[in-house]
């Protein structure tokens, strides 16, 4: 019969075409994400770091310090649902058909589904004293091994490091054996030290354990230096047993970035994405004030020796499930607005600014400064010339394809989430006189303290951001306004450069 062969031929062709499409994503058509992630803020929910993401029945559930839960089918679009009893640094996991949640200085909770309601199972039992390795619940992670054995990993606070203990399978609140100290602060690991320059040789805070098994190896992640520093980073140890001994990885630190908008990258979790690859979620520490947080994610890659690596990104990347090769995640778009308010001969302009919060701070690529329009400014705007050239330089045009906005709300993502929806529009121009709208968010009803939106690729020289709604008594502050794109055409310079002979 020919039909089975014909079907097989069609199936083979489909797989080949799908594979090619997966390897050839296109800006403007293929979904992308950009760090920090644009998480919804709402009463009872604030994505303020210490992030745990789990997957259940193809759906993703995110829990963070700040309360609440975020739900997604694709790790790209997240909705919010209020969940009670979410502790600081929550860890959520599934065991024998039920869901459990634990966190700092609290009991273990249990529920029938990831969104609760969660009820307390009481305090931890059969625990040793401080000398025996127990100083209360702090940055806890419960890992269920392949043989269904539960293990509790936790931080001992300060420089003491990471501990593990097996739990009673019939009562997860009960320790089922002695506590084992796995490792502590090592001053030879310079990135673990306190300070913006890691300048404190005897001080550190080792925290945030997360265990992941891959190809028979246990990878134990941990965070160090402290969340008050942009040097907050993440490393890992490996072992062939969940109880150790663990060996320090040669390519540490795993996550570390100290410049730009994505800094202080640590304390997170690992989850399998819709593409079958492992993805790292992590906390982002803002520059100012200490404690300001956002959330980031990037792909995990393993080399032939089993070394784990993560490239921390702050530009648009192809979304989970859109490409098959995780090493080709960069979509090629770059920031094209940085420092183009104060650049030489720039024609950039703004509607108003307050002392100490000048408009230039909206494009300085720093999370420690922000542009604050005047309180009387009812329609704040910021116009950026993308080609701040001298009269002897060619005029560079750019094709823009995405925008990121970080709003200054509350303490910028920690302990005071805004519930206001920000509305704005982006207009473009070639001559700085005639503008057309490239992105219209003037009817936005969703509140986020960080925004990333795709723009249909368009060529331009001038870009104008207008805040069309002031949800509070004063205009919202803009921590950063980043346009992404690529260089396009050039125009002749206003005056030719004299040729000397």
Same domain, yes or no: 281 and 407: no
Count Cβ atoms below 10 Å from residue 92 Cβ, excluding itself: 27
Give the CA angle between residues 450, 452, 453 to the nearest 5°. Answer: 145
Of 280, 296, 331, the residue at which a domain comes to its end is: 331
**What percent of the chain has a predicted confidence (pLDDT) above 70?**
90
SS3 263: coil
Q: Would residue 1 count as lying in a domain?
A: no
Q: Looking at the structure, do residues 364 and 265 belong to the same domain, yes or no?
A: no
347 and 276 share one domain: no
Q: Which domain holds residue 479?
A: 335-491
Are both 359 and 432 inside the same structural domain? yes
Q: Which token pair is 363?
A: 């494009």
Say how many domains are in the chain: 2
What CA–CA distance (Å, rounded) separates 371 from 387? 21
pLDDT at 1 over 60: no
The verdict on 305 and 339 lying in the same domain is no
Phi and psi torsions of 137, nearest 5°? -75, 120
The whole-angstrom separation of Cα 134 and Cα 140 is 12
Q: What is the pLDDT of residues 425-470, one digit of tens each?
A: 999 999 999 999 999 999 998 888 899 999 999 999 999 999 998 7
Q: What is the pLDDT of residues 66-101, one digit of tens each?
A: 888 999 999 999 999 999 989 999 999 999 999 999
C-alpha 490: how far from chain center = 35
CA distances for 250 relative to 37, 187, 300, angstroms: 30, 16, 16
Q: Are residues 284 and 391 in the same domain?
A: no
pLDDT in tens, 468-492: 987 667 788 899 999 999 999 998 8
- Clarify whether residues 305 and 445 are in a common domain: no
* All residues at 6 or more sequence positions from 100 whose CB lies less than 8 Å from its CB, including other chains: 92, 93, 94, 108, 109, 110, 111, 142, 172
Task: Find the CATH number of the domain harbouring 460.
Answer: 2.60.120.260
Those residues with Cβ within 8 angstroms of residue 294's Cβ, 6 or more apart along the chain or in another chain = 35, 36, 37, 39, 47, 49, 283, 284, 286, 406, 413, 449, 450
**DSSP bridge partners of 402:** 454, 484
Identify the bridge partners of residue 280 per DSSP, sorted by sequence position.
Answer: 270, 298
Helices (H) and strands (E) in the chain, counts: 1, 32
Sign of the torsion angle spanned by Cα atoms 45, 310, 481, 367:
positive
The confidence score (pLDDT) of residue 410 equals: 52
| Same structural domain, 358 and 238 | no
Q: Is residue 496 part of a domain?
A: no
Q: What is the pLDDT of residues 112-153, one digit of tens each?
A: 999 999 999 999 999 999 888 898 889 999 999 999 999 999
CATH number of residue 140's parent domain: 2.115.10.20
pLDDT at 326 over 50: yes
Q: Is the pLDDT of residue 106 over 50?
A: yes
Q: What is the pLDDT of residues 349-387, one digit of tens each?
A: 999 999 999 999 999 999 999 999 999 999 999 999 999
pLDDT value at 23 more than 70: no
**Phi and psi at residue 45, to the nearest 5°:** -150, 130
Do 101 and 142 fall within a single domain?
yes
Residue 139 in tokens: 């940055």
Last residue of a domain, one of 331, 360, 395: 331
The pLDDT, as a whole number, for residue 380 is: 95
């Amino acid at each position: 019969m020919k039909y089975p062969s014909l079907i097989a031929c069609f199936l083979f062709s489909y797989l080949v075409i799908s594979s090619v499409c997966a390897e050839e994503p296109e800006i403007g058509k293929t979904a992308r994400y950009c760090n920090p992630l644009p998480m919804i803020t709402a009463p009872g929910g604030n994505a303020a770091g210490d992030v745990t993401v789990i997957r259940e029945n193809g759906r993703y559930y995110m829990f963070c310090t700040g309360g609440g839960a975020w739900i997604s089918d694709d790790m790209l679009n997240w909705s919010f649902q209020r969940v009670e009893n979410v502790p600081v640094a929550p860890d959520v996991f599934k065991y024998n058909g039920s869901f459990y949640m634990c966190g700092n200085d609290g009991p273990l909770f249990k529920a029938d589904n990831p969104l609760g309601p969660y009820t307390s199972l009481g305090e931890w039992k059969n625990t040793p004293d401080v000398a025996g390795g127990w100083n209360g619940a702090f940055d806890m992670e419960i890992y269920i091994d392949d043989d269904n054995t539960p293990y509790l990993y936790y931080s001992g606070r300060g420089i003491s490091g990471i501990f593990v203990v097996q739990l009673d399978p019939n009562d997860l609140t009960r320790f089922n054996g002695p506590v084992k100290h796995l490792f502590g602060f090592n001053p030879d690991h310079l990135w673990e030290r306190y300070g913006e320059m890691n300048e404190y040789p005897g001080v550190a805070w080792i925290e945030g354990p997360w265990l992941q098994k891959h190809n028979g190896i246990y990878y134990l992640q941990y965070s160090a230096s402290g969340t008050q520093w942009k040097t907050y980073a993440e490393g890992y140890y490996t072992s062939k047993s969940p109880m150790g001994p663990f060996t320090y990885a040669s390519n540490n630190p795993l996550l570390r970035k100290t410049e730009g908008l994505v800094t202080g990258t640590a304390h997170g979790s690992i989850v399998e994405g819709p593409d079958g690859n492992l993805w790292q979620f992590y906390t982002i520490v803002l520059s100012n004030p200490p404690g300001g947080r956002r959330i980031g994610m990037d792909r995990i890659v393993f080399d032939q020796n089993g070394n784990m690596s993560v490239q921390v990104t702050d530009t648009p990347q192809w979304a989970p499930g859109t490409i098959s090769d995780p090493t080709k995640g960069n979509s090629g778009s770059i920031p094209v607005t940085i420092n183009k308010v104060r650049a030489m001969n720039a024609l950039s302009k703004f509607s108003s600014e307050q002392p100490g919060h000048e408009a230039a701070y909206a494009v300085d690529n720093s999370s420690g400064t922000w542009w604050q329009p005047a309180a009387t400014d009812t329609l704040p705007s910021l116009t950026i010339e993308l080609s701040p050239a001298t009269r002897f330089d060619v005029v560079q045009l750019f094709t823009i394809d995405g925008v990121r906005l970080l709003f200054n709300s509350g303490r910028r993502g920690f302990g005071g989430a805004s519930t206001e929806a920000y509305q704005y529009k982006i207009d473009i121009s070639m001559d700085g006189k005639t503008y057309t709208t490239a992105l219209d968010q003037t009817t936005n009803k969703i509140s986020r303290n960080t925004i990333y939106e795709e723009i249909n690729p368009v060529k331009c020289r001038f870009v104008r951001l207008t805040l069309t709604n002031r949800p509070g008594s004063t205009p919202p502050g803009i921590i950063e306004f980043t346009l992404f794109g690529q260089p396009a055409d050039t125009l002749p310079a206003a005056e030719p450069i004299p040729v000397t002979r």
